[in-house]
Amino acid sequence: MPISGPQAHQQLITAYNRAAVKLEQLRGQMGQIEQQRDQLENDRDDTLRKLAEYYLPDLTAESVQKTWAEIRPTMREILLRKEGRVRELRAQLDDENELRANLETGLQELNERLDAAEYRQDEIATQVEKHLTERPAFVDLSNRAAMAEVALQRAQDNLDEVSQDAARKLPAYEEDRLFTYLKDRQFGTSQYHHRGMTRRMDRFVAKLVDYSKAKRNYDYLQNTPTAMRKIIAEDSAALDTVMSEIQDHRDRAAEKFGLPAQVSTVESLTAERKSAIEGLGTQTSACEAIQAELNEIESPRCEFYRDAIDLFRKMLAEKQSTELRQEARRTPEVTDDQIVASLRGIENQMEHSEQSTRRHQDTLHQAQETYQDIGRLIQRFRASGYDRQRCQFSDTFDLLGSLDHAQTSADVDAIWNAIRRAQGWGPTAMDRVTAVATHPMTQVLVNAMAHAAAGAMSEHARRAGQRSNRRGR
């Protein structure tokens, strides 16, 4: 059984929400990595304190602890500012997501109203068509329009044939110097006034080239297209006259059953839906912007982290590990060498942690891009009207599974192409006869004419209605 547009739309929203959950999980893992980094920083802190106590035996532990205490409040204040900003952003994200969910619900309700309005429009259109096909005057006009269309089409086909024939043959006459000579002298007409030897020579040339027959053929090729265009203009005017009467019948019947008002309702809901989609797209972008800022703050390279790192490095500026190692080598004791070696081991672990953080940050960044790509996919889906009830998708198309496995923008683009291939439209009442006309009033006219015209004339009547629509009548 085909998958309906709203069902596919819900699968997209589910995939979008899953992508958001994945982002949250990755951010949580980033927090764990930060905890490990914090522990390494604490170990380094303890090691440096031990080294300081060893190198500064005249300083008590109480003095060293006091020195560190002067720095900790500032770092604690930075951490509190970061946590406060995270809480603020999470609160904003909750509010924005709630608003987005409300907009999605509103769009779904609007789609249902639009589907119902279009269904009602189809019902009224069917009533108008039935009413028209039961009116003898409309049936007669439809048959007349069909016959006028046949005559007009035949004349156009003949004009095309004659025009092509003239284009092929006229150059040969115009390039024949003897024929052109006689034609320019108006030989064989009342305007030819030559006498004597000239007349005898011209008659000889005319007999030589069979000028009389050639001139008849030339005049036919030269004048017939113009005459046929006049006939086409007359046939077109006759068809326009009939179509004007047909449209009057259509307009009265449509007004009787309330079709214009229903068309206006559908158009209004369609415009409202377009506005709702734009608003939902803006709201989605707002949510994604907050998600991106959360990712940035949770990153080890966020502004708060950089502030803390700058403070810490200033504190250790005079005691880098290389300097400490050189200092330890100058002393005969091994205790300070052991402490410096321990410090070096911690720093090596910190380097590995940094590499792990970068890899995880890349994964988080990719997940953020995929999350945004799915959001844009949903916007394209809605803009194409694929979330409508009449839209259908092949039941073999695993949309949700494909989205769950999407990892790059190229993957999401491929899914969009797959969506378009799997998509189709269910029929409506006005789609059954013609898919050419676009406006409902025109569709009613073309359908009614096609049903009203007798037998083989039905197709010609349909074409007459379409021709009138193309000319904006």
Q: What is residue 189's three-state secondary structure?
A: coil
Q: What is residue 386's three-state secondary structure?
A: coil
Helix%, strand%, coil% for the chain, nearest 5: 85, 0, 15
When mean pLDDT is compared across 126-130, 259-263, 417-421, the lowest value belongs to 417-421
Pairing of strands 3-4, 423-425: unpaired
Q: Answer for the pair 30, 364: CB distance below 8 angstroms, yes or no.
A: yes
pLDDT tens column, 322-367: 655 665 565 555 665 666 666 666 666 655 656 666 666 767 677 7
When mean pLDDT is compared across 66-75, 195-204, 208-217, 250-259, the lowest value belongs to 66-75
| Torsional class of 170: left (φ above 0), alpha (ψ -120 to 50), beta (otherwise) | alpha
Residue 432 Cα distances to 230, 428, 448, 450, angstroms: 37, 7, 12, 11
Q: At what angle do helices 457-470 and 136-175 cross, to 10 degrees?
A: 70
Per-residue DSSP letters for 400-447? HHHHHT--SHHHHHHHHHHHHHHEEE---GGGTT-SS--SHHHHHHHH
- pLDDT score of 219 more than 70: yes
Q: Answer for the pair 125, 444: CB distance below 8 angstroms, yes or no.
A: yes
Q: How confident is the model at residue 46 (pLDDT cuts 50, 70, 90)?
A: low
Phi, psi for 56 (deg, rounded to 5) = -120, 70
The tokens of 355 are what? Answer: 């590499």
H-type helices in 56-195, by residue range?
A: 61-133, 136-175, 177-184
CA torsion 383→389→393→399, rounded to 10°? 70
Smallest Cα–Cα separation from 146: which of 462, 403, 467, 468?
Answer: 462
When mean pLDDT is compared across 17-26, 43-52, 253-262, the lowest value belongs to 43-52
Predicted TM-score (pTM) of this structure? 0.57
The tokens of 376 are what? Answer: 């844009």
Check residues 110 and 47 and name the one with the higher pLDDT: 110
Q: What is residue 391's three-state secondary structure?
A: strand
Side-by-side strand order, sheet with 3-4? 3-4, 391-393, 423-425
Q: What is residue 353's three-state secondary structure?
A: helix
Q: How confident is the model at residue 264 (pLDDT cuts 50, 70, 90)?
A: very high
- pLDDT score of 429 more than 50: no
d(CA 422, CA 454): 39
pLDDT tens column, 153-197: 888 888 888 888 888 888 888 888 888 888 788 888 888 888 888
Q: Answer for the pair 145, 461: CB distance below 8 angstroms, yes or no.
A: yes
d(CA 172, CA 453): 47
Smallest Cα–Cα separation from 385: which of 265, 277, 283?
Answer: 277
The tokens of 230 are what? Answer: 């006049």
The DSSP output letter for 299 is S
d(CA 157, CA 94): 67
Which pLDDT score, from 0 to 100, does residue 64 have? 28
